[in-house]
Structure 1
Amino acid sequence: MASFSGITTRQRYLELPDTFYSHVHPTPLRGDVRLVHFNAGLARDMGLPMESPEEWADIGAGRALLEGMIPVAMKYTGHQFGMYNPDLGDGRGLLLWETEGPDGRVRDWHLKGAGQTPYSRFGDGRAVLRSSVREYLCGEAMHYLGIASTRSLFLVSSTEPVRRETIETAAALVRVADTHIRFGHFEYASHHLGPDAVKTLTDHTIHHHFPDLEALPESERYPAFLAEVVRRTARTIADWQGVGFCHGVMNSDNMSIIGDTFDYGPYAFLDDFDARYICNHTDQGGRYAYNRQPEIGFINCQLLAHALTSLIDEDQLRRCMREYETTYNDSFINLMRRKLGLARADDNDLGLVMDTYSMLHEHGIDYTRFFRGLSTLPSQGPAPVRDLFADRGVADEWLRRYHNRLASEDCSPEDREADMCRTNPKYILRNYLAQNVIEASQAGDDQPLAELLKVLKRPYDEQPEFEEYAALPPDWGKHMDISCSS
């Protein structure tokens, strides 16, 4: 372990055999480089020096490494849109090192946009400013919504041209996570390296990321590991559904082994509610539509379970997989009760929830505004809810049913409003807001990015000075075409 300005640094991933990675030096960005944003709050949590954030730009640009950094491109595989791809790996990202913060938490640093690696296939190894801003924003948005997520430490841009659908400019960010190990690592070990490698990877992952399981005998440890991964995955996806988040590319190589929301690409938060909404226009079959995300999470857990068959017998695998449905269902209904302000469970609550979704879908009601309006019924009355409906009678009928359900609750209206406002955000990262920031950053103005991040740090607060960020999106900002291109 090396010392870096009083911070303990590690290289835990390099404890694995070198079949799991390749040593690669970053390819420096060309042209002028600027620091677009430095995440001071995250840096503070990590115990990093913040006196001169601009000094980090050379690391982001791949022009410098700190003493102790040993960059590697991770090798993994995975199922993309349901098809197994053996050629995956970090095609433009490099794991630099890990640092331990003052709280003892160890985090990976992953430089995304670092240039070509042995796993780039036909790619140029670059990230563009557009997609990098989107990832930076969404990691923060999800974190402050209370949803498990990777985050970004800093973001740099350069004048180097990169061709996507059009000519764009290159960028890079340092993504931070407790680990970058994903389901695809286990698929790679299982399909290509054999049972010994699966055991080595699993033991490594348990030791560093599930240490409470180490004391168990192997016959219990590995099933307990899989069951916990399944539960974490189910809880995260329930959280997505509750806040109206669409990931867009739920390939198994984008599934974090610790349950983080991982690898932001063509994501979206729902505007007008559409249960079948597809946020990735590359996904022509709708495999990753909003209403399919819970199912795809289960399928990806099945793929992980298959990769662990050398460690876990068939009966145990089935028991582990049953944890998904139980955990997802419990997490989802409990979250929806909180969103509706229901402290007491009722057998009819699931029917109320599903009927609510059907109503929102049929009438195309803005998801976030509906639940926030519901939260403030005691103080603002029904107008914020009713005004979302072209047919006010539909809203009135639903509100009568809702008030009848509330009659069995003991909580005061004031306390219920406070609780619901802590559950139903007023501010979410709508795609049009991200697009406005991207266009400003592309023009060299990073102030809109900083301001939007300030808003997203307090998604549940009223923030009257930023009321415009809670507005309904303009027509051009609804159902924007977002692709996997980055």
Structure 2
Amino acid sequence: MNQTPQAAIYSPVAQIDALMPDIAAPVDAADFPQTILRFRNDRAAASVGLDSLSDEAWIAHFGRFEPLPGTLPRPLALRYHGHQFRHYNPDIGDGRGFLFAQMRDSDGRLMDLGTKGSGQTPYSRFGDGRLTLKGGVREILATEMLEALGVNTSKTLSIIETGEALERNDEPSPTRGAAMVRLSHSHIRIGSFQRAAFLEDRALLEKLTDYALTHLYGEVPGDNPPAQLLGRVVERTADLAASYMVAGFVHGVLNSDNINVTGESFDYGPWRFTPLWDANFTAAYFDHQGLYAFGRQAEAIHWDVAQLAVSLRALVEAAPLIEQLERFPALYAQAMARRFCWRLGVVPGDGADAMIAAAVRGMAMSGTGIDRFFHDWRGGVAREGHDYDDAAWDAFRGAIAGFAGVEDARRHDYWTDAAPCSMHIEEVEAIWSAIDTDDDWAPLHAKVAAIRRMGAAHSECIAAA
């Protein structure tokens, strides 16, 4: 979890060609009035050999979308379907983004550069194909915080302001526009498979399955490739669901078109970090039923993965697919134990489920925040000067006594800070206000630095798994 990527030599590829023309439509980027570089993530860029680009070249590629050498000659807007709040929608696809390039990272993994706000596509419907600058800033904050907390997430590579004034119904308008580039381990979604199944395109389903196993998981397809793939997706997404919980994160829109088959989190719209362990906390103002509330995220992701199984049913019998789906709850519980112990800085062991339940009860009964709890109990021992002696914590104090602290769990000076690094809505709004009102980017850059320092404090723990 949360290890700084190694530098890589630029290694471009175009593996998506194996799925063309069925998977995407060639498109052109918008011609923006301005291209002002606002954020470049050289740490992420180094992992794919792009950190040596000059600012001028960076803007040319990620603001004007001039092709990178050796990869896709033209952007591709991906086609997919999806269940959106449990309602099937066959009329979606990349409406304001596209796949811009593919390359290998320092570990040899196939990586995509995808965009958001890069212009209209055949799937834009009535949208303008644009991204607000505020949306781009929020994506930086979400991805940086999640990466620091060990979540398998896309990386925000670049934000370029476009000089456009956008009209939006859910924020004060006109508001500034931006083009974003994200670095992801694939943009193939559950919805990509749903579209193929909807169209009864068996050949495309087989090609998608082979592509995912071969290029995304690095596996040779075996006797039952669909069940093999579903098993990998179940494993990755169960871990993803657990990582959201331990981070105190609410994605907000866990539709099947927002679930990547690599189990990597991406596409951050109405996200929030919940201050308290509140199962009913929601991020999206339009999630009136709490479908994707904090405590329902594992259920939602499992349901989405079941839709992948339904799609793969066109290729194989149901029994092996059901067998893989039924592994999800146990895998989720295992991932919760592993990740909770990692953030807490204790060695995983027997009794983790009871320890976690006691911690959740303690937080709920005392009103202790999630970040505060993990900060105060790092290494399995309460910080001096912080009172955890009341009855709310009786069960947890007994449970945590059976867990040894990881060696050097508090080695980093971050753990001596009076308060933990958090990312709640008030600070998000304050960071944006400084940019919007005074064009002051210092609070954003300071927050990114603080988040990365917290990430370093976690990654120094030898139990990072």
Q: With the length of structure 2 as denominator, give the TM-score of the two structures.
A: 0.87
Task: Note the C-alpha offset of 1:87.
Answer: 0.6
Q: Could you tell me which amino acid in structure 1 is paired with residue 445 of structure 2?
A: A
Distance in 2, matches of 1:63 and 1:417, equals: 44
Change (3 A) 1:338 1:222: same
Residue correspondence of structure 1 range 150-229 to structure 2 within 5 A: 150-165=154-169, 166-214=173-221, 216-217=222-223, 219=224, 221-229=225-233
Task: Note the C-alpha offset of 1:204.
Answer: 1.7
Secondary structure (helix, strand or coil) at the match of 2:80 reads coil
Distance in 2, matches of 1:6 and 1:330, equals: 36
Q: Could you tell me which amino acid in structure 2 is paired with residue 180 of structure 1?
A: H
2:266 match: 262
Task: Note the C-alpha offset of 1:197.
Answer: 1.5
1:373 match: 376
Confirm or deny that 1:450 pairs with 2:433: no
Change (3 A) 1:417 1:230: same
Q: Which one of the candidate residues 337, 340, 351 is aligned to 1:336?
A: 340
> Is 39-48 or 275-284 further displaced after alignment?
39-48
Distance in 2, matches of 1:101 and 1:24, equals: 25
Contact 2:341 2:347 in 1 (8 A): yes
Residues 331-362 of structure 1 show CA distances to partners (whole Å, capped at 9, x for unaligned) of 11333345556546445x53443243234234
Q: Which one of the candidate residues 73, 78, 83 is aligned to 2:82?
A: 78
Task: Note the C-alpha offset of 1:151.
Answer: 0.7
Change (3 A) 1:380 1:353: closer
Task: Note the C-alpha offset of 1:60.
Answer: 2.9
Q: What fraction of aligned residue pairs are identical, expressed as a percent? A: 28
Contact 1:232 1:258 in 2 (8 A): yes
Residue correspondence of structure 1 range 76-155 to structure 2 within 5 A: 76-155=80-159
Change (3 A) 1:6 1:293: closer
Secondary structure (helix, strand or coil) at the match of 1:92 reads coil
Pairwise CA RMSD: 2.7
Change (3 A) 1:323 1:26: same
Distance in 2, matches of 1:292 and 1:117, equals: 33
Contact 2:100 2:113 in 1 (8 A): yes
Contact 2:272 2:424 in 1 (8 A): yes
> Is 253-262 or 354-363 further displaced after alignment?
354-363
Residues 363-393 of structure 1 show CA distances to partners (whole Å, capped at 9, x for unaligned) of 4331111221122775832x3354xxxxxxx
Q: Which one of the candidate residues 357, 360, 364 is aligned to 1:361?
A: 364
Task: Note the C-alpha offset of 1:427.
Answer: 2.0
Residue correspondence of structure 1 range 365-444 to structure 2 within 5 A: 365-375=368-378, 378=381, 380-381=383-384, 383-386=385-388, 395-409=389-403, 411=404, 426-442=420-436, 443-444=438-439
1:42 match: 44
Gaps of 5+ in 2: 1-7, 459-465
Contact 2:358 2:396 in 1 (8 A): no
Distance in 2, matches of 1:223 and 1:144, equals: 33
Higher normalized helix content (fraction of residues): 1
Confirm or deny that 1:276 pairs with 2:270: no
Contact 2:345 2:379 in 1 (8 A): no
Secondary structure (helix, strand or coil) at the match of 1:456 reads helix
1:57 match: 59
Task: Note the C-alpha offset of 1:107.
Answer: 1.6
1:309 match: 313
Task: Note the C-alpha offset of 1:206.
Answer: 1.4
Task: Note the C-alpha offset of 1:207.
Answer: 1.6
Contact 1:238 1:294 in 2 (8 A): yes
Q: Could you tell me which amino acid in structure 1 is paired with residue 272 of structure 2?
A: A
Count residues in correspondence: 442
Residues 72-104 of structure 1 show CA distances to partners (whole Å, capped at 9, x for unaligned) of 100001000010000110000011121234553
Q: Could you tell me which amino acid in structure 2 is paired with residue 37 of structure 1?
A: F
Residues 30-66 of structure 1 show CA distances to partners (whole Å, capped at 9, x for unaligned) of 2x33100111111222112525224322333336444
Distance in 2, matches of 1:407 and 1:288, equals: 34
Distance in 2, matches of 1:448 and 1:273, equals: 27
Gaps of 5+ in 1: 387-394, 464-486
2:35 match: 33
1:474 match: none
Contact 1:213 1:225 in 2 (8 A): no
Confirm or deny that 1:9 pairs with 2:12: yes
1:483 match: none
Change (3 A) 1:190 1:344: closer
> Is 368-377 or 140-149 further displaced after alignment?
368-377
Residues 103-157 of structure 1 show CA distances to partners (whole Å, capped at 9, x for unaligned) of 5333211121111101001100000101111112222222222211111221101
Distance in 1, matches of 2:42 and 2:405, equals: 39
Q: Could you tell me which amino acid in structure 1 is paired with residue 450 of structure 2?
A: V
Secondary structure (helix, strand or coil) at the match of 2:445 reads helix
Q: With the length of structure 1 as denominator, give the TM-score of the two structures.
A: 0.84
Change (3 A) 1:210 1:244: same
Change (3 A) 1:305 1:34: same
Secondary structure (helix, strand or coil) at the match of 2:282 reads coil
1:484 match: none
Distance in 2, matches of 1:72 and 1:39, equals: 23
Secondary structure (helix, strand or coil) at the match of 2:123 reads coil
> Is 435-444 or 454-463 further displaced after alignment?
454-463
1:481 match: none
Task: Note the C-alpha offset of 1:429.
Answer: 2.7
